[in-house]
Amino acid sequence: MRPFDYTRAGTLDEAGAQLGKTAAVIAGGTNILDLMKLQIMTPERLVDIGRVPGLDGIEADGDGLRVGALVRNSDLAADGRIRAGWPVLSRALLSGASGQIRNKATTGGNLLQRTRCPYFYDPAMACNKREPGAGCAAKEGVGRMLAIFGTSEHCLAAHPSDMAVALRALDAKVAVRAADGSERTLPLDEFYRLPADRPDIETVLGPDGIVTGVVLPAPVAGSVQAYRKVRDRASYAFALVSVAAVVTVEDGRIARARLAFGGVAPRPWANDAVTAMLEGEAPDDALFRAAADRLTADAAPHPDNEFKLPMLRRTLVSVLRETTGLAEPSIGTDRTDAAA
Amino acid sequence: MTQTFKMDEPLPRLLDETRQGLIGTPMNRPDGPLKVSGRADYAADRLPDGTAHGVLVRATITKGKVTRLDESALAGIEGVVAVLSGPNFVRNPAQGMAGESPVQPGPRVDYHGQPIALVVAETFEAARDAAQRLVVEYDDAGGAEVDPDSASEVETDDPDATGDWDEAWGRAAAKVDVTYTTPGQVSAAMEPHAALAHWDSGRLTLHGSQQMLRFNRKELADAVGVDPSEVRILSPYVGGGFGSKLGIGAEAVSAALASRDLGRPVRVVMARQTVFDAVLRRTQTSQHVRLAADADGRLLALGHDDLVSNLPEESFAEPTTNASQFTYGAAALRFQQSVARIHRTPSGSVRAPGEAVGMVVLEAAVDELAGELGMDPVELRLKNIPDTAPLTGQDYSGRRLADCLRQGAERFGWAQRPKAERDGDWLIGCGMAAAARKNMLTKAAARVRLTGAGAVVETDMTDIGTGSYAILAQIAGELLGLPESKVEVRLADTDLPGASGSGGSFGAGSTGSAVFLAARRIREQLAAQLGCEPGELTLQDGIARGANVEKSLADLVQDELVGEAEIASGEAAKSHLSAGWGAHFCEVAVHAWTGEVRVRRMLGLFDIGRVLNRKTATSQAVGGMIWGLGGALTEELHHDPRTGHIANRDLANYHVAAHADAAGRIEADFVDDRDDWANPMQSKGVGELGISGSGGAVLNAIHAAAGVRIRHLPATPDKVIAALEAAGR
Ligand SMILES: Cc1cc2nc3c(=O)[nH]c(=O)nc-3n(C[C@H](O)[C@H](O)[C@H](O)COP(=O)(O)OP(=O)(O)OC[C@H]3O[C@@H](n4cnc5c(N)ncnc54)[C@H](O)[C@@H]3O)c2cc1C
Ligand code: SF4
């Protein structure tokens, strides 16, 4: 760790003013402190937003909810409204990290956590995300945890968040405050950038932007929601692949199928063509297999993670079977109220 | 003064005659309250005034030379004291019981991650910052071989073999000829390696985290170039070792060197990543097992060959086929080892070296043979328990393997087990495996002092979380008729009599026997004072009785009675093969779609001779079973294919089994036995027995559940899926 200044912001304006190219926000600190200890991130100033009022609540927002950026992962997962109306979010949060980490980790920090590519964490190895133009050691290195979609020749890293995958399936938006104090809300696909030739720039936030919260749209009435995470041990491991699903079946047909995939891309991944194949159709194993094949058709795996293709296909089929009633729902699959 | 007892013949079972009733009880560990309240001072917890902090710097090339340490980037960092390197720096930890310095390579670099320098500063923060910013210049030799499968330098032993292989193989009714692989692993002890060194008038004191002080003292002395009598090591609390703290490593040697140079105490604590880089790993293995049996299931041929790896100049080679050589008999046997010389972090003893990976594979192969024969796997094992040790012809000492198999099967409900059942999308099945681990007795000394108020046990034995403080108190209390509260145990200081140390599961049996013999000497003195034969003496709750006399110890012991004893292995180790035995039974669920495996329940029934403490023995056995489960399902080092360095070098990415992996019912129990040829207490080692074979039971259960054999460990979901898809499912 390098010596750094520490300031505690009392307001968002103060925080905004203190940020900049050589500064960084600290929220729960569960990711940034590790990165600073390893000198992967070396901000000269940390701006602690922990005491900024108004960022730690979960409030009604029309028929939806607005979740403040400082709401802890454990509090968000346990919230009764979330568990009833957006259960996939609660399940995704609980599948991540450990109880202790979730107690510290925040909603904003979770969205902005950095990749777990081992070479990103090892200053002895080349990494374009750490140092643009340096090269990518992962390409010919160990690639088990890398992405299969949305990568570029400059970076193959996957986004590690579980929470963000559920948010994508829920069509949530990220509330972002710009340096000039203006605020806008962005769908996740607009909030996160794909790596292209600048894998170091992961979002549209900019050096002095602040995430103020997440906006959940109205709950989907009568939906079945599931978060399924496949990993190398039963808990406390990042996803090899994960599937978040919000599915509604009406009159024997799939009325709505919002799906997002984790562990496979630089951002929570979604595929409209897959959704289009499913919506309006009757649940059916052959259909699910075809949808899964469609999903992985444009994957570009690293030699170490070719397994993610069959794993993702099978996990998707299993989740679709459970969310459409072809199979008994298991733990992690919940139904929301029929009345909106 | 010291009586050395060589274990040549069985001794009478004195612990069955004594009256205190402490031995075998589930006594709590006396160090427990200190540990859970943060009062046990581990090596890194000490910080005397004036201590400087050292942080190790790693090599970032695989092979070559350090040509320059460029300190210019350190200029702005406040409090940097020194950057040290030099001819005394060690390349890696000493192998277990080496008793001499590990390789001191000077500027030579032999693996990526090798500790090459120590940065010392006034604060830990400054030292770490400086260590990260130090610029190291190298002469990179290039071309280092890091892959065991393509290594050009492979040393192959002459095989250990008996019988006519071709003849036995030729007439078999059923055969298995399979290759399994296991990945590299690490010990993954919770406490990172740490040392605090200081010198006083030419004498070095090291507070370290070490398993075997008698050896560590010589290793450290040799590394820094002083006489062992000038070195004192203390390790009263060790936060897990699992083999990784058997020998002196870079943290201890660099702390000692820096402290001598700077004339002040120096503390070095390894970062977790450094523990992965610079502490001995377990080698990956490739194991070729061939089994042949007649139609009745009697083994005709058993072959087990392996390929392991290590750095040049490291003598250790994972003894993969240990248990294969004495568990079952066959007309023809063949064992052969090859060692690939590669430039990865060197390998050494990790949690049951040999059996932990060898028995998984042997027991999975035996299960495959049972399948070929259409025979119950318990039955097949029962059929092949030999009369005498197959390679050596030795008699076995206590061996309740058959009882463990039969009683374990009974308790698990093996006959009624679910077979290829489904629970939703989960496929259910059961598997089993035998357990065997060589039992050893090594040289150990201890002193017991008895006053009217109680007894004190003194030895440099360590307690690495295993329960030494508890069982040594139980042994002394049992022999001297004292309750737990009247026995104090002082450990892990090289000024005390030299013990076995903790390793190879021989600590309790070896050092415990030294305590036993020392206390027995005191019993002899007490008997003489009472005027009775030692055999007539009874001691209980501080009262001595004998020859119709009854006296309290307070009356009998005026000043202090001292007994000191040393035990060493003797003829018994030659005449008898001593091992711990057992049987594992396991039920798993395999997800039909995602390939995830969950252990639902597991039962291990073990023969460890006399149980010294039911609670610590059970914890050891259950812990071992979970290590085995993790070896089968989760643990795996990933090495960079170019540099050989460990890519997953922290506990988030190196997957030790988590609680959720061990959330099923995991039970261990013991068949009560006395192994007369093992040691004077008739006990055997337990720590490493639980891991031996446990992963085999898990793999076999996966096969029973899902019909697929996973031969490349660990059985992560990707491999299960690949096997399911290959089978058209
Ligand atoms: C061992 C381990 C295992 C883990 N396993 C998982 C897992 O399985 N699944 C999973 O999803 N996650 C996992 N995590 C990651 C964990 O979820 C994140 O570390 C956590 O969510 C980050 O939140 P934080 O508040 O602590 O962020 P911080 O560490 O404080 O910040 C993270 C980043 O976000 C920036 N930041 C934070 N808040 C804001 C804001 N409001 N506006 C702008 N920038 C901001 C910081 O500058 C920093 O760059 C794991 C972490 C660890 C250490
Ligand atoms: S994949 Fe991305 S994060 Fe990993 S080394 Fe390459 S550039 Fe860096």
- Which of these, B157, B175, B180, lies nearest to B165 by C-alpha position? B175
Q: One of B318, B478, B587, B688 is an active-site residue; which one?
A: B688
Structure tokens at A108: 């904003």
**So what's the pLDDT on residue B24?**
98
Q: Which of A1, A230, A231, A321 to mutate to test the interface with B (most CBs of B within 10 A)?
A: A230
CA–CA dist B348, B309 (Å, integer)? 10
- Which of these, B635, A317, B709, lies nearest to B720 by C-alpha position? B709
Q: Compute how many other C-beta atoms are within 10 angstroms of the C-beta atom of residue B525.
A: 16
- Residues forming a β-bridge with B307: B286, B338
Structure tokens at B311: 């750095």
Indicate where chain A has its CATH 3.30.43.10 domain(s): 1-51
**So what's the pLDDT on residue A338?**
80
What number does the ligand 2 atom closest to the CA of A154 have? 7
Q: Is A138 near ligand 2, meaning CB less than 6 Å away? A: yes
Q: Give B157-192 pLDDT, tens digit per residue.
A: 999 999 999 999 999 999 999 999 999 999 999 999
End-to-end CA distance of chain A: give it in Å, rounded. Answer: 50
* CA-nearest residue, atom 37 of ligand 1: A109
Structure tokens at B493: 């200081």
Spell out the residues 6+ positions from residue B19 whose beta carbon is closer than 8 angstroms to its own.
B481, B538, B539, B540
Checking if the pLDDT of A319 tops 80, the result is yes
- Residues forming a β-bridge with A215: A66, A173
How many CA atoms lie within 13 Å of A51's alpha carbon, on the beta-carbon side?
A: 7
Mean pLDDT of B709-721: 98
Name the one residue in this structure whose structure tokens are 């259910």: B428
Q: Is A157 near ligand 2, meaning CB less than 6 Å away? A: yes
Structure tokens at B670: 């013991």
Residue B564 annotated to the active site: no
B59-143+193-269: in CATH 3.30.70.360: no
Query: In three state form, how does the secondary structure of A23-81 look?
Result: EEEECCCCCHHHHHHCCCCCCCEEEECCCCCCCCCEEEECCEEEEECCCEHHHHHHCHH
Fold of B12-32+442-568: Aldehyde Oxidoreductase; domain 4 (3.30.365)
- Residues forming a β-bridge with A253: A250
Give A1-51's CATH code, choosing from 1.10.1370.30, 3.30.43.10, 3.40.640.10, 3.40.718.10: 3.30.43.10
What number does the ligand 1 atom closest to the CA of A163 have? 11
Q: Which residues of B touch A238 (CB under 8 A)?
A: 652
Q: Give A138-176 pLDDT, tens digit per residue.
A: 999 999 999 999 999 999 999 999 999 999 999 999 999
Rg (CA), chain A: 20
CA angle, B615 as apex, B214 and B684 as ends, to 5°? 50
Structure tokens at A329: 């729902």
- Which of these, B300, B369, B388, B287, lies nearest to B336 by C-alpha position? B287
Decide if A233 and B657 are in contact by the 8 Å CB cutoff.
yes
Tell me which ligand sits closest to the C-alpha of residue A227: 1
- Which of these, A183, A147, A175, lies nearest to A265 by C-alpha position? A147
**Strand, helix or coil for residue A329:** coil
Q: Is A97 near ligand 1, meaning CB less than 6 Å away? A: yes
Checking if the pLDDT of B2 tops 80, the result is no
Among A153, A156, A304, name the best residue to mutate to test ligand 2's pocket (greatest count of ligand atoms within 8 A of Cβ).
Answer: A156
- Residues forming a β-bridge with B538: B545
A224-335: in CATH 1.25.40.10: no
Q: Give B587-631 pLDDT, tens digit per residue.
A: 999 999 999 999 999 999 999 999 999 999 999 999 999 999 999
Checking if the pLDDT of A340 tops 90, the result is no
Q: Is A158 near ligand 2, meaning CB less than 6 Å away? A: no
Mean of the per-residue pLDDT values of chain B: 97
Name the one residue in this structure whose structure tokens are 């292989």: B165
Q: Give B309-329 pLDDT, tens digit per residue.
A: 999 989 999 999 999 999 999
Burial class (CB in 10 A: 0-12, 13-18, 19+), B577: buried
- Give the phi and the psi of residue B620 in degrees, each rounded to 5: -60, -45
CA–CA dist B121, B78 (Å, integer)? 8
Q: Is A110 near ligand 1, meaning CB less than 6 Å away? A: yes
Query: In three state form, how does the secondary structure of B311-348 look?
Result: CCCCCCCCCCCCHHHCCCCCCEEEEEEEEEECCCCCEC
Q: Is A41 on the interface with B (CB under 8 A)?
A: no
Q: How far is the centre of ligand 1, averaged over its atoms, from the C-alpha of A29 (Å)?
A: 7
Evaluate whether B444 touches B514 at the Cβ level (below 8 Å).
yes
Decide if A236 and B658 are in contact by the 8 Å CB cutoff.
yes
Measured over all CA atoms, what is the biggest interatomic distance in chain A, rounded to whole angstroms?
63
Decide if B658 and A233 are in contact by the 8 Å CB cutoff.
yes
Tell me which ligand sits closest to the C-alpha of residue A49: 1
CA–CA dist B544, B526 (Å, integer)? 8
For the question of whether the overall pTM of this predicted structure is more than 0.95, the answer is: yes
Indicate where chain A has its CATH 3.30.390.50 domain(s): 224-335
Q: Is A235 on the interface with B (CB under 8 A)?
A: yes
B285-440+575-726: in CATH 3.30.365.10: yes
Decide if A311 and B425 are in contact by the 8 Å CB cutoff.
no
Structure tokens at A90: 């609660």
Band the pLDDT of B3: cuts 50, 70, 90: confident
The shortest CB-CB distance from A310 to any of B663, B714, B721 is to B721
Q: Give A23-70 pLDDT, tens digit per residue.
A: 999 999 999 999 999 999 999 999 999 999 999 999 999 999 999 999
**So what's the pLDDT on residue B219?**
98
Structure tokens at B300: 């005709």
Q: Compute how many other C-beta atoms are within 10 angstroms of the C-beta atom of residue A61.
A: 16
Mean pLDDT of B107-124: 98
Decide if A236 and B639 are in contact by the 8 Å CB cutoff.
no
CA–CA dist A185, A162 (Å, integer)? 20
Checking if the pLDDT of B420 tops 90, the result is no
Structure tokens at A145: 């945890």
* CA-nearest residue, atom 32 of ligand 1: A109
**So what's the pLDDT on residue B1?**
56
Sheet holding B665-670, edge to edge: B421-423, B426-438, B579-591, B597-607, B665-670
Q: Is A247 near ligand 2, meaning CB less than 6 Å away? A: no
**So what's the pLDDT on residue B528?**
96
Evaluate whether A249 touches A223 at the Cβ level (below 8 Å).
no
**Strand, helix or coil for residue A157:** coil
- Which of these, B509, B456, B464, B507, lies nearest to B482 by C-alpha position? B456
Length of chain B counted residue by residue: 729
Percent of chain A beyond pLDDT 90?
Answer: 98
Question: Tell me, what DSSP letter sits at residue B639?
Answer: B
Checking if the pLDDT of A339 tops 90, the result is no
Checking if the pLDDT of B245 tops 60, the result is yes
Mean pLDDT of B86-102: 97
Indicate where chain B has its CATH 3.30.365.10 domain(s): 12-32+442-568, 59-143+193-269, 285-440+575-726
Decide if A1 and B424 are in contact by the 8 Å CB cutoff.
no
Percent of chain B beyond pLDDT 90?
Answer: 99
Q: Which residues of A touch B184 (CB under 8 A)?
A: none
Q: Which residues of B touch A116 (CB under 8 A)?
A: 652-653
Q: Give A184-214 pLDDT, tens digit per residue.
A: 999 999 999 999 999 999 999 999 999 999 9
What number does the ligand 1 atom closest to the CA of A161 have? 11
Mean pLDDT of B212-238: 98
What number does the ligand 2 atom closest to the CA of A156 have? 1
Evaluate whether B525 touches B467 at the Cβ level (below 8 Å).
no
